[in-house]
Amino acid sequence: MMIYLKLFWSFLQVGMFSIGGGYAAMPLIQSQVAERHGWLTMNEFTDLITIAEMTPGPIAVNSATFVGIRIAGFPGAVIATFGCILPSCLIVSLLAFIYYRYKKLSALQSVLASLRPAVVALIASAGLSILQTVAFGGEEMALENINWIGLFLFASAFLLLRRWKWNPILVMSLCGAAGLLINLAVMAF
């Protein structure tokens, strides 16, 4: 029974404080599942984000479902997912009421504009954390611990997405296949 309360409370906090969408939720999810409760290692967390990104739906909800099922089975998935979406349902309902009632006030527009930098900082933090895990595999940041294959795939994906505007699903699939083939080739030699 206690694990259900922990799952609900953890993902309720993620749902409550992940203003800005899924990428903004990543550091909060990492804090709850990898650091605070130890439900996942950093490598498992990185895999979780990859899977949550590839499956349809919001990252936070997919993560809640995945962690819930892993920790406490189907009831855990339902409870974690409910905890994650409850704040959004309540907050969106309240904000919709307030917005339609006071949408012409400049103060409301100023508040919305002031949230943008915080969201950018949360996304950058999550990206740097995942890059560090990819580059060093959760090890100490030293030259001998660099995962050159991971860095090569990261740089390739970045160029394909930003410069040539490739489809993200295609890039993820190609990186997965390339990573598999490169690692198999390295293991064979």
The b/e string for 121-146 (b: 16+ C-beta within 10 A; e otherwise) is ebbeebeebbeebbbbeeeeeeeeee
* Domain extent at residue 133: 2-141
Residue in 121, 181, 182, 172 with CA at minimum distance from that of residue 149: 182
For 48-104, what is each residue's pLDDT tens digit?
Answer: 888 888 888 888 999 999 999 999 999 999 999 999 999 889 988 998 898 888 878
Query: What pLDDT score was predicted for residue 98?
Result: 85
Whether residue 120 sits in one domain with residue 69: yes
Q: Which of 119, 141, 163 is the last residue of a domain?
A: 141
Q: Degrees (nearest 5) of the Cα angle 155, 171, 147?
A: 35
Residues 41-51, mean pLDDT to the nearest whole number: 88
Instruction: Examine the pLDDT at 8 and tell me if it is beyond 90.
Output: yes
Whether residue 100 sits in one domain with residue 154: no
Whether residue 158 sits in one domain with residue 98: no
Residues 17-42, mean pLDDT to the nearest whole number: 85
Query: What pLDDT score was predicted for residue 153?
Result: 93
Cβ proximity of 87 and 64 under 8 Å? no
Query: What pLDDT score was predicted for residue 189?
Result: 83
Domain count along the chain: 2
Query: What pLDDT score was predicted for residue 166?
Result: 96
Q: Which residue has the higher pLDDT, 53 or 152?
A: 152
Structure-block tokens of residue 184: 């198999």
Whether residue 130 sits in one domain with residue 178: no
Cβ proximity of 45 and 36 under 8 Å? no
For 92-138, what is each residue's pLDDT tens digit?
Answer: 899 889 888 887 888 878 887 888 898 889 889 888 888 888 888 77
Whether residue 117 sits in one domain with residue 183: no
Q: Which of 141, 159, 175 is the last residue of a domain?
A: 141
pLDDT band at 38; cut points 50, 70, 90: very high
Query: What pLDDT score was predicted for residue 130?
Result: 83
